[in-house]
Amino acid sequence: MVTPVRVIIGLCLVAPFVAMLWVGSYAKTGPAFIGIPFFYWYQMLWVLISTALTMTAYQLWQRDQRDRAAHASPAAENGGEAK
């Protein structure tokens, strides 16, 4: 089932791939940051951004799973058998 939360999770996980595969956007030397060419510091910045996005996606997934378990019907929890 596609929900808005799952779409956000997907975007969090796909964004770093898109940013790194779109080489033309960062294949340049300027602007430099403390003497480091843009090409290098941009990639290192995405290491931190990717970590934050992955942590966010994981936390959203955990919350989504808890919400789904809380809203599950008692019949579904008992294997479909009603007591």
Domain borders along the chain are: 4-65
Burial label, 82 (beta-carbon count in 10 A; 0-12, 13-18, 19+): exposed
Burial label, 57 (beta-carbon count in 10 A; 0-12, 13-18, 19+): buried
pLDDT tens column, 18-28: 999 999 989 99
Note the pLDDT of residue 75.
57
Q: How confident is the model at residue 83 (pLDDT cuts 50, 70, 90)?
A: very low
Report the distance separating Cα 12 and Cα 30, nearest Å: 27
pTM across the whole model: 0.78
Q: How confident is the model at residue 78 (pLDDT cuts 50, 70, 90)?
A: low
Report the distance separating Cα 48 and Cα 79, nearest Å: 43
